[in-house]
Every structure is written in structure tokens, then in C-alpha cells.
């Protein structure tokens, strides 16, 4: 007897296949998503890694510069002229009276001769005036002496006439005439004495005026002679001839720079510090000056009041012995110590780090296989280090190199 079989549900087979395919697609999607989020790789040998430290941090500023003489003198032209002779070249040792060059200017020589001629004329006029006034004085004194003699004679006659008149030996009219004559001569004598005093004062004034004229012309002659002598240009100080700013045959004008004389044994460093870093530089701070052949200690002596082309000039007085080869205009590099900070978190200065700012750094994991992005708050900075205010702890290792190529990655894998 045949037993009837129930009909199979053929609808379940397509559903099973569909579920299987859907599961495979989900797994593939998850796999692709996982691959898309895989951390990018970074070659550990090509990046700079440093550890966060807690302790002393020395803030420093570095600036390039040159060695310049502490004492020097610009030699300028006192008068116009043409360069006729240049016996020395830069590098020669000179003394104060060493002749550096010689100028020529015929007009200056003629002016000196004319001044000497005018002085000679004035001196001759002074001598003539002295003789003239002396003759006048003698004439007036002679007149005074004559009046004095006449007055004495007349006075004696008046006294005698008075005695005779009292005895009626002569007429009263004659006696009166003699007395009046004596009084007249007495008045003339007084007037002549006053005249002589006035003449003496006048003589002194005229002589003083002429002497002043002579002195003025002597000063002019000295000035003109100085101009002639100044055409033989001298060093005016002991030292080394560093620069000659003129050539043979060149015409120079008064005040034009001709040469520079320095004292080579006394040098200082002039550093060019970026204006953004110069705000903390103060006089008296310690400096190390690298001359490429040695290090010389020094102190900040002066800071320029204004910035020039983005830099501030800082003068450094050198305290140690200069190494061999140190000379003016030698290129140097100075490191200025701003301050020492105790017990602060610090790390090597990352690329692009600015003081008192925030930035993101990659901090290595404990196993060193990965580095995760963290936000770090930075404080005061130095040349190669910077203070860490927040975001890192002592012992953390961070990548300091430029990681802008992985700016979107939250973590990287370090090989």
C-alpha cells in the first residue's frame, strides 16, 4: 500500500541562500571598514623622538653676528681735495702721526697765502699806529710841561706883583693883570692834563682794536695753515688701518669718510636677535660666543632701542681670551642665557612649536609600537626645548618631527 509523502517546502531554499549571501556581504563590509581605519605607518628612524623630562630648563636665545672693534675711529676729510698719494693699504699698523694719504687743492694753498698777507698788513698797521700814538702822546706831554713851566713863572710874578702892589710900588692894574694871567695859565694846565688823560684812553682803545684785528687774522692764518696741513691725512690714533674708502685721483669733500682705524686687540660681538625673541634679553645676561675656533664667554652690554629688518642688535662685551683667528668682521654665533627654570616639565622643541600656545603631538604608547595624537599646552620656550604645561607627563615619549602628513590620523604605527 502506497503511503502518500508530504510535499517539500521549496520556498526555504532561496531564503537560506539569501541569508548566507547577506552574511558574507556584511563580513566583507566590516573587513573593508577595518582596513580603511588601519593606522598609517611611520618609520621610527626617520622621526625625532624625545622624552618629557622634569627638572631644570635653561632658556636660551641664539643669534648670528660679527666681531667688531670696541674702539675705532673714522678718518674724515677736513677740506676738499684730490687724492694724490696712498702709501698704505688696509691691514697696516699705524701710529697717531702716520700719514695715510695726501690731498692736493691749489685753492686752499692760495687762501693760506692770502691770510698770511692780510696778517702781515695788519701787523704793520699796528706798528705804525703805535708810533703815531706815541708821537701824539709826546707832543701833548710837551705842551703840558710848557704850560706847567709858564704857570709856575706867572704865579711867582703874581706873588711878587701882589707884594709890590701892597707897598704901592706898582699900579693896581698891572698887579691885577699879572694875577689874571696866572689864573688863566692854571686853568689851561688843568685842561691840558684832562686832554692828556682822554688821549691816553683813546690811544688804548685804538691799540686794542688793532690788536684784536691782528689776533683775528692770526686765527684765520692758523685755520688756513691747518687746512693745508690737513691735506696730509694722518691716522690720529694708534691701531690698525681696517678700511680705505677712497682711490687715487678721487675728489673728496669736507666730512667725507676716508679711512677707518681700529684697535684690533679689543673686540666685542654684535648679535642679530630676532625681534620676537629679544623681549626677554636684558643687560648683564651671560652669553657664549662661538667663533668657530672656540667659545668665548661674555655679557650683554647694550640692546638697540629699535628693531632693524626684523632683528634687534645686541652688543656683547667679551670677557675671556679671544681664540686664534679672531678678528674684526668675523662671523660668530652667540647663545644668550635668559633664565634657569627649576622643576618644570620640558621636552625638545617640536617642529612649528610656539611659546604659550597649544598644539597636537603624537605620544608613543608603552610598547612603542604606536603613537596617539594628544593635545599639549606649551609655555616658555628656549632654543631647543619648550615648557610643557598640560597634556603630557614626565617619561612620556613624543614625536617632535613634522607630522603634518598625518594630520587626519588619530594614531600611527611606528616601525
Above 70 in pLDDT, residue 178? no
Residue 308, SS3 per DSSP? strand
CA distances from 300 to 36, 67, 126, 296 (A): 57, 14, 63, 13
**DSSP 8-state code for residue 409:** -
> Which superfamily is assigned to 63-69+263-340 in CATH?
Efflux pump adaptor protein, beta barrel domain (2.40.30.170)
Tell me the domain boundaries of the chain: 41-57+344-414, 63-69+263-340, 75-102+232-261, 106-230
Question: What would the CATH number be for the domain defined by 41-57+344-414?
Answer: 2.40.420.20
CA 394 to CA 415: how far, in whole Å? 24
- Locate the DSSP E strands across 170-266: 232-234, 239-244, 251-252, 257-262
CA distances from 58 to 242, 312, 378, 385 (A): 39, 22, 15, 8
- pLDDT of res. 1: 41
* Higher per-residue confidence, 78 vs 147: 78
CA 287 to CA 266: how far, in whole Å? 17
- pLDDT of res. 330: 92
**DSSP 8-state code for residue 226:** H
- pLDDT of res. 323: 87
Q: How confident is the model at residue 188 (pLDDT cuts 50, 70, 90)?
A: confident
- What cell numbers appear for 116 in the block? 698770511
- pLDDT of res. 5: 55
pLDDT tens for each residue of 322-381? 888 888 889 999 999 999 999 999 999 998 888 889 999 999 998 888 899 999 999 998
The residues facing 371 across adjacent strands are 364, 412
CA distances from 355 to 127, 269, 286, 358, 376 (A): 85, 27, 22, 9, 12
Above 60 in pLDDT, residue 7? no
Q: What share of the chain is helix, strand, coil (3-state, %, to 5)?
A: 35, 35, 30
**DSSP 8-state code for residue 406:** G
Above 80 in pLDDT, residue 406? yes
**Rounded (10°) angle between helices 106-166 and 172-230:** 170
CA 51 to CA 87: how far, in whole Å? 64
Above 50 in pLDDT, residue 382? yes
Q: Which residues contact 301 (CB under 8 A, 6 or more apart)?
A: 268, 283, 315, 316, 317
Percent above pLDDT 90 for the chain: 52
Contact between 76 and 257 under an 8 Å Cβ cutoff? The reply is yes
- pLDDT of res. 317: 94
Of 115-119, 204-208, 212-216, 279-283, which range is least confident? 204-208
Above 90 in pLDDT, residue 272? yes
**Average pLDDT over every residue of 5-9:** 51
CA 221 to CA 215: how far, in whole Å? 10
pLDDT tens for each residue of 234-262? 999 999 999 999 999 999 999 999 999 99
- pLDDT of res. 24: 59
CA distances from 307 to 173, 259, 303, 317, 336 (A): 108, 28, 10, 20, 18
Q: How confident is the model at residue 26 (pLDDT cuts 50, 70, 90)?
A: low
CA 400 to CA 48: how far, in whole Å? 5
Above 60 in pLDDT, residue 29? no
- Nearest of 136, 133, 149, 157 to residue 188 by alpha carbon: 149
- pLDDT of res. 173: 62
CA 395 to CA 53: how far, in whole Å? 6
Above 70 in pLDDT, residue 190? yes
Count the neighbouring beta carbons within 10 Å of the beta carbon of residue 57.
24
Q: Which residues contact 148 (CB under 8 A, 6 or more apart)?
A: 189
Question: What would the CATH number be for the domain defined by 75-102+232-261?
Answer: 2.40.50.100
Q: Using a CB cutoff of 8 Å and minimum separation of 24, what contacts does 222-230 make?
A: 223/115, 224/108, 224/111, 224/112, 224/115, 224/116, 225/112, 226/78, 227/78, 227/79, 227/108, 227/111, 227/112, 228/108, 228/109, 228/112, 230/77, 230/78, 230/79
Angle at 414 between CA 412 and CA 415, to 5 degrees: 140
Above 80 in pLDDT, residue 10? no
DSSP state letters, 31-78: HHHHHHTPPPEE-GGGS-EEE-EEEEEEEEEEEEEEEEESSEEEEE-S
Q: How confident is the model at residue 131 (pLDDT cuts 50, 70, 90)?
A: confident
Above 90 in pLDDT, residue 22? no
Amino acid at each position: 500500500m502506497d503511503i502518500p509523502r508530504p510535499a517539500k517546502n521549496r520556498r526555504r531554499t532561496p531564503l537560506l541562500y539569501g541569508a548566507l549571501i547577506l552574511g558574507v556581504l556584511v563580513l566583507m563590509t566590516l573587513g573593508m571598514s577595518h582596513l580603511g581605519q588601519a593606522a598609517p605607518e611611520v618609520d621610527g628612524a626617520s622621526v625625532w623622538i624625545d622624552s618629557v623630562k622634569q627638572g631644570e630648563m635653561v632658556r636660551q636665545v641664539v643669534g648670528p653676528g660679527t666681531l667688531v672693534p670696541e674702539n675705532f675711529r673714522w678718518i674724515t676729510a677736513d677740506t676738499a681735495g684730490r687724492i694724490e698719494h696712498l702709501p698704505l693699504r688696509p691691514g697696516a699698523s699705524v701710529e697717531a702721526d702716520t700719514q695715510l694719504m695726501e690731498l692736493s687743492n691749489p685753492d686752499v694753498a692760495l687762501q693760506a697765502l692770502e691770510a698770511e698777507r692780510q696778517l702781515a698788513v695788519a701787523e704793520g698797521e699796528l706798528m705804525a699806529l703805535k708810533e703815531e700814538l706815541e708821537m701824539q702822546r709826546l707832543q701833548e706831554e710837551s705842551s703840558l710841561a710848557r704850560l706847567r713851566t709858564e704857570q709856575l713863572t706867572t704865579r711867582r710874578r703874581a706873588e711878587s706883583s701882589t707884594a709890590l702892589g701892597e707897598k704901592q710900588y706898582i699900579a693896581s692894574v698891572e698887579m691885577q693883570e699879572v694875577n689874571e694871567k696866572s689864573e688863566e695859565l692854571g686853568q689851561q694846565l688843568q685842561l691840558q692834563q684832562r686832554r692828556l688823560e682822554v688821549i691816553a684812553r683813546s690811544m688804548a682803545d685804538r691799540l686794542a682794536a688793532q690788536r684784536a684785528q691782528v689776533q683775528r687774522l692770526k686765527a684765520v692764518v692758523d685755520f688756513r695753515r691747518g687746512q693745508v696741513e690737513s691735506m696730509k691725512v694722518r691716522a690720529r690714533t694708534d691701531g690698525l688701518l681696517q678700511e680705505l674708502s677712497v682711490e687715487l685721483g678721487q675728489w673728496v669733500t669736507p666730512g667725507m669718510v676716508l679711512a677707518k682705524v681700529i684697535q684690533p686687540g679689543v673686540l666685542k660681538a654684535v648679535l642679530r636677535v630676532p625681534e620676537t625673541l629679544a623681549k626677554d634679553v636684558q643687560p648683564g645676561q651671560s652669553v657664549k660666543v662661538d667663533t668657530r675656533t672656540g667659545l668665548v664667554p661674555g655679557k650683554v652690554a647694550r640692546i638697540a632701542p629699535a628693531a632693524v629688518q626684523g632683528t634687534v642688535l645686541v652688543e656683547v662685551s667679551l670677557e675671556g681670551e679671544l681664540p686664534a683667528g679672531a678678528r674684526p668682521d668675523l662671523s660668530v654665533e652667540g647663545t644668550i642665557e635668559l633664565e634657569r627654570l627649576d622643576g618644570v616639565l620640558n621636552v625638545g622643541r617640536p617642529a612649528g612649536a610656539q611659546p604659550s600656545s597649544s598644539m597636537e603631538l603624537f605620544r608613543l604608547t608603552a610598547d612603542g609600537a604606536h603613537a596617539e595624537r594628544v593635545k599639549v599646552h606649551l609655555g616658555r620656550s628656549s632654543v631647543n626645548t619648550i615648557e610643557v604645561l598640560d597634556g603630557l607627563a614626565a617619561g612620556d615619549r613624543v614625536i617632535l618631527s613634522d607630522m603634518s602628513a598625518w594630520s587626519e590620523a588619530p594614531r600611527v604605527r611606528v616601525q
